[in-house]
Chain A
Amino acid sequence: MAAGAASGGSARADTYKDARGWLLLPSWAVLGIFVLGPVCMMLIYSFLTKEFRGGVIWEPSLAAYDQFFFDRGLFGDEPPKIEWTYISIFWRSIWQAGAATLLSLLIGFPTAYFIATRPENVRPVWVFLITIPYWVNLLIRTVSMKFLLRDQGPLNDFLIGTGLIDSPIHIVNTNFAVQLGLFYSYLPFMVLPVYAAVERYNFSLSEAAADLYASKWTTLRRIVLPAVKPGVVAGCILVFVPSMGSFLAPDLLGGAKNFMIGSLIEEQFKGNAGNWPFGAAASMILLTMVLIILMFSARQQAKADKAGG
């Protein structure tokens, strides 16, 4: 009898397990179709031969990666040298995205802190205000930014009008313009996670720190920041990763000299002049780099946590 009951129970558990497997299907389908599929496609395309008017020939080849890393002369018959063109574009992308992330953090953190410390009923209003500009298309916003920043634009007019400067500052077509553009594009991705973290923060901890002779600055550094760190890390990742691959801001605000990896990839798939395998290879390299950076920072984080504990 007891054995029967037990087997009945385990049969029910099995049914439950089966059902659970089926219920997970939608998530697996979404992940498969929208994440795994495209990445696999990109991986395969990066190892194929290019077709001259776009597209690929289904013939395995390492040409795309070879082109990215090595220079074999105009006719491809010289001994390979390291090709710096793409690596330097890559390096610039990391640097620009890093600067944009830092800028977002410096502006976004105080903003998020400010919102989170307002009375509860007005906080949603502030969050709403922060997100309003993002209802406008990113392209329009970036172009408007260019108009604001250009030599005869409102910013320079204002600065000259106040007498702070005599001649306009050239901002457009500089690295800084790109950083500003990226910062503006992705600011809410910094503000929102940090805001969520600060809102959950227990402010009596700040009182306790002040009570134990910590100044405001020390309290921020030693108590508040460690407590909201997950939000800050999330914000940094959410700004850094899309900034790395962005092409609108570099194209419109950076000019030809400040080319970033996103624009390089975009070029490969535009019109007939592109090189699909090369674009796919550059995307794979970008993906790998971002993964390495994230893993590295996660490891540093874990190390710091251990040392701090």
Chain B
Amino acid sequence: MPGNKTDAIDVRNAVKRYGDFTALKRISLTIRDNEFFTLLGPSGCGKTTLLRMIAGFEDVTEGEILLYGDEIESLPPHLRPVNTVFQNYALFPHMTILDNVAFGLEMRGKSKDTARKRAGEMLELVQLSQFAARKPSQLSGGQQQRVALARALAPQPKVLLLDEPLSALDLKLRKAMQLELKHLQRETGITFIFVTHDQEEALTMSDRIAVMSAGEMQQLGSPTEIYEQPRNMFVADFIGETNLLEVSVDQVMNGRAVCHLGGGHALTCNSVEGIGEGAKVHMSVRPERLFMSDVPVETESLKGRVAENIFVGTDISTLVDLAEGPQFIVRTSNSDRGNKRIFEPGSEIFVNMELGAGRLLMD
């Protein structure tokens, strides 16, 4: 089947096996042109393997990979018009910063002068012009990171692959680089495929995210979709903080489900496709969608006792031991203290959730 010329990358039924071990179990996904796409998952989920298959460092056991409509899975890496920013940067230690950035251009047949001129422009873009004559070892981690970025962008690849490029930086620098990367992506108009295990990073930067686990894709969607409408237990648990409750489903109707807890307490929440009556599943509710009161105020109120209040800067996290169920986290924003109450540890309270805040999950 011919590929779509306007899609940057089309992965079709890609399988990767190392002997008996299957690293990728039949992945299919389409990455659009000019998109900031993130592969997100814990270590060992196959996200880096998939990225390396696109770059050409790993061969594809089964399936196809298309780049703007052309099959590339059989091409060696040096013939693929994609560039990679490596996790350890992999800057050439014996070359100057300028020569590092010019390398890819030279290899594409540009004259040394043209390559260096363009490399100089790239260094300007990442604000490292004054370091052009230095060797990589004379630069800090953050600067090396930006050189790696300039080097990968210089030959104007069709797709830029980024393999956890920010993981070695400290928090502040990482935050700054997240924004810088996002801006660079918009300025250059190049499709970025970003691999990370950091869900916050993924939510901040991406247009779309593919959440992966154990060689399988769990969910693909925009950051809001992934966060607000997780499809299964894994996604809900991996992305952000969540509270989980074991429930039995009594009735499903119009996307809503009526369920009860182990002790018989009834709840109404959002359902997802594939869950029928009688199913024993989990319900998830985000901590910021809960609030506490001394009398039940909503239809969905759960009895509990405050165990601890934890101050986390912008919010206060309250741990509540539920009468029927596990410990819940309730997050109260400090800016919302006028409307929402904080209770002392030991207080008997009710945890309330609005209709629609709770959501059933596939296992």
Contacts and interface: CB of A to CB of B under 8 A. Distances in A.
Contacts of B82: 211
A210 B76 contact: yes
Contacts of A212: 78, 83, 103-104, 107, 151-152, 155
Contact of B84 (A205, A208, A215, A226): A208
A205 B92 contact: yes
Interface string B69-84: 0000000111100111
Most B CB within 10 A of own CB, among A211, A213, A227, A309: A211
B172 interface: no
B90 interface: yes
Contacts of B94: 226-227, 308-309
Nearest to B82: A211
A253 B91 CA distance: 48
B96 interface: yes
Contacts of A205: 90, 92-93
A202 interface: yes
Contacts of B79: 213
Given A204-B86, A218-B107, A309-B135, A210 B92 contact: no
A83 interface: no
B96 to A, nearest CB: 7
Nearest to B79: A213
B108 A208 contact: no
Given A207-B57, A208-B84, A213 B155 contact: yes
A209 B84 contact: no
Contacts of A226: 94
Contact of B92 (A213, A215, A218, A223): A223
Interface string B250-276: 000000000000000000000000000
A214 B103 contact: yes
B55 interface: yes
A204 B90 contact: yes
A239 B359 CA distance: 74
A227 B136 CA distance: 14
Interface string A172-214: 0000000000000000000000000000001011011111111
B88 interface: yes
A230 to B, nearest CB: 11
A210 B84 CA distance: 10
Contacts of B151: 212
Contacts of A223: 92
Nearest to B102: A212
Nearest to A202: B90
Contacts of B107: 212-214, 218
B57 to A, nearest CB: 6
B150 to A, nearest CB: 12
B92 A211 contact: no
Contacts of A218: 107
Contacts of B96: 309
Nearest to A208: B90
Nearest to A218: B107
Interface string B48-90: 0000000111000000000000000000111100111010101
A37 B292 CA distance: 90
B131 to A, nearest CB: 14
Given A207-B57, A207-B86, A215 B93 contact: no
Interface in B161-212: none
Interface in B86-126: 86, 88, 90-94, 96, 103-104, 107-108
Contacts of A215: 78
B43 to A, nearest CB: 17
A148 to B, nearest CB: 41
Contacts of B104: 212-213
Most B CB within 10 A of own CB, among A205, A210, A212, A214: A212
A305 to B, nearest CB: 8
Given A204-B86, A204-B88, A211 B55 contact: yes
A223 B84 CA distance: 17
A203 to B, nearest CB: 9
Contacts of B108: 213
A213 B155 CA distance: 9
Nearest to A211: B84
12 contacts: A204-B86, A207-B57, A208-B91, A211-B78, A211-B83, A212-B83, A213-B79, A214-B103, A218-B107, A222-B103, A226-B94, A309-B96
Given A208-B86, A212-B103, A212-B152, 4 more contacts: A205-B90, A213-B108, A213-B155, A223-B92
Interface of A: 202, 204-205, 207-215, 218, 222-223, 226-227, 308-309
